[in-house]
């Protein structure tokens, strides 16, 4: 080595830390960061992170995954099912509301119902029809409530008038509505295949509706059954007597206020 050549000082030897020293250094750094975060939070009014959490984050620790119990799993599944049901119900209600808001198309049988009302008013009486509607659930069946005092004349017209030709009485039934009684007739024209439902109301104290057995013979046993079970009289019937219960039976079993004389029967 020449005298002019500069002599460089030796580099200090790098100290190798023990695991305990490394852990202490990491912990000290974490505590320093936690202190800085605490000071920042106190200055800004925020929450202060726990030193343990900061230390864990600095050390790169992964939080342990919680193992759910059977009860917690069941509760979680139930909550998810309830959420799905709630969403489905909300969707259904929204669709129903949209359907109600949409303008409703008139029934294809509405013109026939209007025509029937016009004929009855013209040929019988202006007040002959009390109510009218289209029964959409029964194939859009035209339905009319006829005033009791006009019923027999109306029945004759429905059978014989060329506009109706209702030559087949399909069914007769009775109903107790508590405020009043009602007889319901379903009829059809074999020629035109047009069907009608006619309702006739009567009071509950002395219920009475003119018999249409002289017009449609099929009404005979139907009217006897209604008389037997509901107590509605049918003036003009050729043989109005009980048909199901015995002649000495007390009361009418299909009335809503019926109380049997013998509770064991």
Angle at 113 (CA atoms; ends 226, 209), nearest 5 degrees: 25
Q: In whole angstroms, what is the distance from residue 129 CA to residue 150 CA?
A: 9
pLDDT for 16: 73
pLDDT for 107: 94
Residue with tokens 């009791």: 148
Q: In whole angstroms, what is the distance from residue 207 CA to residue 180 CA?
A: 8
pLDDT for 34: 83
Domain 110-205 adopts which CATH fold?
A: Beta Polymerase; domain 2 (3.30.460)
Alpha-carbon torsion (120, 124, 126, 131), positive or negative: negative
pLDDT for 122: 97
pLDDT (tens, 9 = 90+) of the chain, 265 residues, equals 445 555 555 555 666 778 777 788 888 888 888 888 887 777 665 554 454 544 455 455 566 677 888 888 888 889 999 999 999 999 999 888 887 777 778 999 999 999 999 999 999 999 999 999 999 999 999 999 999 999 999 999 999 999 999 999 999 999 999 999 999 999 999 999 999 999 999 999 999 999 999 999 999 999 999 999 999 999 999 999 999 999 999 999 999 999 987 766 5
User: Closest by alpha carbon to 37, among 50, 52, 27?
Assistant: 50
Alpha-carbon torsion (77, 78, 80, 84), positive or negative: positive
DSSP sequence for 156-170: HHHHHSTTT---EEE
Answer yes or no: are the C-beta atoms of 226 and 183 closer than 8 Å. yes
User: Closest by alpha carbon to 183, among 200, 171, 196?
Assistant: 200
**In Å, how far from its chain's centre is CA 92?**
10
Q: In whole angstroms, what is the distance from residue 34 CA to residue 17 CA?
A: 24
**In Å, how far from its chain's centre is CA 188?**
33
Retrieve residue 202's tokens: 């009567």
pLDDT for 54: 46
pLDDT for 48: 46
- Helix 151-160 and helix 110-123, axial crossing angle in degrees, nearest 10: 120
Question: Based on the number of CB atoms within 10 Å of its own CB, is 163 exposed (0-12), middle (13-18) or buried (19 or more)?
Answer: middle
Structure-derived torsion over alpha carbons of residues 169, 160, 208, 221, reported in degrees to the nearest 10: -30
pLDDT for 263: 67
């Amino acid at each position: 080595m020449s005298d002019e050549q500069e002599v460089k000082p030796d580099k200090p030897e790098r100290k190798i830390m023990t695991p305990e020293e490394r852990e202490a250094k990491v912990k000290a750094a974490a505590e320093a960061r936690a202190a800085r975060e605490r000071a920042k939070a106190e200055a800004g009014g925020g929450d202060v992170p726990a030193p343990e959490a900061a230390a864990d984050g600095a050390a790169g620790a992964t939080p342990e995954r919680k193992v759910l119990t059977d009860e917690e799993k069941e509760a979680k599944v139930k909550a998810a099912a309830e959420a799905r049901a709630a969403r489905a119900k909300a969707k259904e209600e929204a669709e129903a509301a949209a359907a109600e808001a949409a303008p409703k198309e008139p029934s294809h049988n509405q013109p026939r119902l209007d025509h029937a009302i016009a004929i009855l008013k013209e040929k019988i009486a202006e007040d002959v029809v009390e109510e009218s509607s289209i029964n959409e659930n029964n194939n859009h069946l035209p339905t009319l409530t006829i005033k009791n005092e006009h019923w027999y004349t109306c029945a004759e017209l429905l059978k014989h008038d060329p506009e109706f030709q209702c030559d087949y009485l399909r069914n007769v039934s009775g109903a107790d509505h508590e405020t009043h009684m009602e007889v319901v007739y379903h009829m059809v024209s074999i020629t035109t295949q047009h069907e009608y439902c006619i309702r006739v109301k009567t009071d509950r104290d002395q219920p009475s509706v003119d018999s249409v057995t002289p017009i449609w013979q099929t009404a005979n046993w139907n009217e006897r059954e209604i008389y037997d079970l509901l107590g509605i009289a049918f003036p003009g019937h050729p043989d109005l007597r009980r048909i199901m219960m015995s002649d000495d039976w007390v009361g009418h079993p299909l009335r809503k206020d019926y109380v049997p004389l013998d509770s064991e029967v």
